[in-house]
Chains A and B, each alone.
Chain A
Amino acid sequence: MKRVLGIETSCDETAIAVYDAEQGVLAHNIYSQIELHRQYGGVVPELASRDHQQKIVPLLLQTLVEANINIDDLDGVAYTAGPGLIGALLVGATFARSFAFARDLPCVGVHHMEGHLFAPMLEPQPPTTPFVALLVSGGHTMLVKVLEFGNYEILGESLDDAAGEAFDKTARLLGLNYPGGPEIAHLAEQGDATRFEFPRPMIKRPGFDFSFSGLKTAAMQAFMATEQDQQTKADIACAFQLAVVDTLSLKCQRALKATGLSQLVIAGGVSANQLLRQELHKMTKKLQAEVFYAKPEFCTDNAAMIAYVGYQRLVRGQREPLNFNVTARWPMSELV
């Protein structure tokens, strides 16, 4: 087992990658459907499925060319089996399984969030297990103790909105585009951090759970009480981002102290947030710990992380029967 093809179609990005055990990611491509869905204000599942089907073959052929390998050079196949949009997942899974079947290659379904969890492993200086991981995206906010590959303990998670979801909803309130994270971060640069002070939810309670729904409401109420001009929007964005980042940082600090571990991994779309990265650098430095994250293109949905996790599972001998399935809702806890 040396080279694994990764296929990701869980939402609105078609992605293909080839991971090599010795050389790392040989090539990867991501085709984003954001433009297709923008006019509808969100992802239309049927259109997403149709588009995945059209893009998957050309993207695969292009990736093989860029990796400078032939189909014969692949030793295994991995695909995202969930969580995600059922129809979108089914396109990638059916293609991957059929391709592997026809070539008699081993094939595994991968949990999308396990992919994100290990995306920082693709960096030149990766973390080593055990570590604490903060998974933070549009669908998840979760602290996980990673003892080794395949052995996870969930320390805490969001009881309501994910951090990325709170970013998206607040962005919509301020009249910004989807996805909201980068838009808010950009607008916050012009903001006055002292004008508004939003709550840091659940920091006084013990444990590692999160809640972002109240923070989103606080931002909305503050916004409604003002003249809603451009400067106010920037000030709100600034205070909102600061509150999210502070909260995440505090819980990460608590998790590092409680576990006695000295490596923190952040992964998922929100891990691309620059302020979050800066704050976690400061916090971990004080604890004489280190923070790790993926390059921006591997923070969002990609197939390199799926190929990597697939490789790890295949090399451990994991095999699956022909009657495959995909799962729209698949709690990370079921992987543990």
Chain B
Amino acid sequence: MKILAFDTATEACSVALLNDDKISECYEEIPRGHAQHILAMCQHVLDEQNCQAQDIDTIAYGAGPGSFTGLRIASSVAQGFAVALNLPVIAISSLQALAQAAYEQTQNASVLAAIDARMEEVYFSYYEFNTDKQCMQEVIVDQLCAPELAPLPDSEAKQYCAAGSGWHIATLQQRFRNCISQTIPDCYPRASSMLKIAEQKYTDGDYLTVDKIHSMYLRDKVTT
């Protein structure tokens, strides 16, 4: 099984290749210019595993939420590969990818994922490790909200890992101060973390045909 995964939803730009049980990854944090790097990164991970684009079985892309331009870069790459090679495509939430990266870094099975959405809002969700699926699964739906309105957990018994750029915002930290055991605001979604999710989604038949590739912007009001 060969899966090519990539994400450009945030400052991080990354590509990873799963080649049966071997993983190669390119990961860089760059403010912009993701489009300039992404295909060279794809080439690099393919070369490292002596693979060619034609060998890939499926692709997984970071579908959002995140930077609008970044989301379009990832979904345009996904469309290009999917049309060219007639591949099924797996759309992965950037918040799920972020939660998975946070889990792999901290082993904390409960993650509050938040990405700064600018304009005093955050992209926000809860994720929990699922032992059957062996990856993080959403507890609530990904949403766009003001930090002071982000939904609190039902009980304060559980302690969460707070991951993502949204946790640089003081209002959000303050609101969740009683249920956070650990904060990693510099954690980003990354392609290698998406591979586990992609494998599980592929097994579940949760993939798209090329005409269904889209970005999950969450913010749809773009005119005044």
- Please say whether chains A and B are actual partners in one complex: yes
- Which secondary structure characterizes the binding site on chain A? helix
Contacts of B217 in A (CB 8 A): 50
Q: Is the CB of B223 within 8 A of A95?
A: no
Question: Closest residue to A90 on the B side, CB-wise?
Answer: B35
B98 is an interface residue with CB less than 8 A from chain A:
no
Interface residue from A53, A103, A321 paired with B76 (Cβ < 8 Å): A53
Q: Is the CB of A325 within 8 A of B79?
A: no
Q: Is the CB of B210 within 8 A of A102?
A: no
Q: Which residues B202-222 have CB closer than 8 A to chain A? A: 210-211, 213-215, 217, 222
Q: Is the CB of B40 within 8 A of A323?
A: yes
Interface residue from B38, B39, B75 paired with A53 (Cβ < 8 Å): B75
Q: Which of A53, A91, A95 has the most CB of B within 10 A?
A: A95
Known: A57-B211, A94-B76. A324 touches B81 (CB 8 A): no
Task: Give the total number of A-B pairs whose CB atoms are below 8 A apart.
Answer: 108
A334 is an interface residue with CB less than 8 A from chain B:
no
Q: Is the CB of A44 within 8 A of B69?
A: no
A35 is an interface residue with CB less than 8 A from chain B:
no
Known: A57-B210, A90-B69. A98 touches B76 (CB 8 A): yes
Question: Closest residue to A49 on the B side, CB-wise?
Answer: B72
B200 is an interface residue with CB less than 8 A from chain A:
no
A143 is an interface residue with CB less than 8 A from chain B:
no
Over the window 41-66 of chain A, the binary record of Cβ atoms lying under 8 Å from chain B Cβ atoms (1 yes, 0 no) is 00010110110011011101100000
Over the window 88-106 of chain A, the binary record of Cβ atoms lying under 8 Å from chain B Cβ atoms (1 yes, 0 no) is 0011011111111111100
Q: Is the CB of A325 within 8 A of B36?
A: yes
B80 is an interface residue with CB less than 8 A from chain A:
yes
Interface size on B, residues (CB 8 A): 34
B37 is an interface residue with CB less than 8 A from chain A:
yes
Q: Which of A46, A56, A94, A323 has the most CB of B within 10 A?
A: A94
Contacts of A40 in B (CB 8 A): 223
Q: Is the CB of B222 within 8 A of A60?
A: no
Q: Is the CB of B43 within 8 A of A322?
A: yes
Interface residue from B78, B81, B223 paired with A47 (Cβ < 8 Å): B223
Q: Which residues B179-200 have CB closer than 8 A to chain A? A: none
Interface residue from A50, A58, A322, A325 paired with B40 (Cβ < 8 Å): A322
Contacts of A60 in B (CB 8 A): 83
* Separation of A50 and B68 alpha carbons in the complex (Å): 9
Q: Is the CB of B72 within 8 A of A87?
A: yes
Known: A46-B222, A49-B68, A102-B53. A71 touches B83 (CB 8 A): yes
B77 is an interface residue with CB less than 8 A from chain A:
yes
Q: Is the CB of A101 within 8 A of B211?
A: no
Contacts of A95 in B (CB 8 A): 76-77, 79-80
Q: Is the CB of A94 within 8 A of B83?
A: no
* Separation of A57 and B87 alpha carbons in the complex (Å): 14
* Separation of A96 and B39 alpha carbons in the complex (Å): 12
B84 is an interface residue with CB less than 8 A from chain A:
yes
Q: Which residues A278-336 have CB closer than 8 A to chain B? A: 321-326
* Separation of A104 and B80 alpha carbons in the complex (Å): 12
Q: Is the CB of B68 within 8 A of A46?
A: yes
B73 is an interface residue with CB less than 8 A from chain A:
yes
Q: Is the CB of A87 within 8 A of B69?
A: yes
Contacts of A44 in B (CB 8 A): 222-223
The 6 closest A-B pairs by CB, nearest first: A98-B80, A102-B84, A94-B76, A99-B80, A46-B222, A322-B39
**Given A102-B80, A321-B40, A322-B40, 10 other A-B residues pairs in contact with their CB atoms under 8 A:** A50-B217, A90-B73, A97-B39, A98-B77, A98-B81, A99-B81, A102-B53, A102-B54, A103-B84, A324-B39
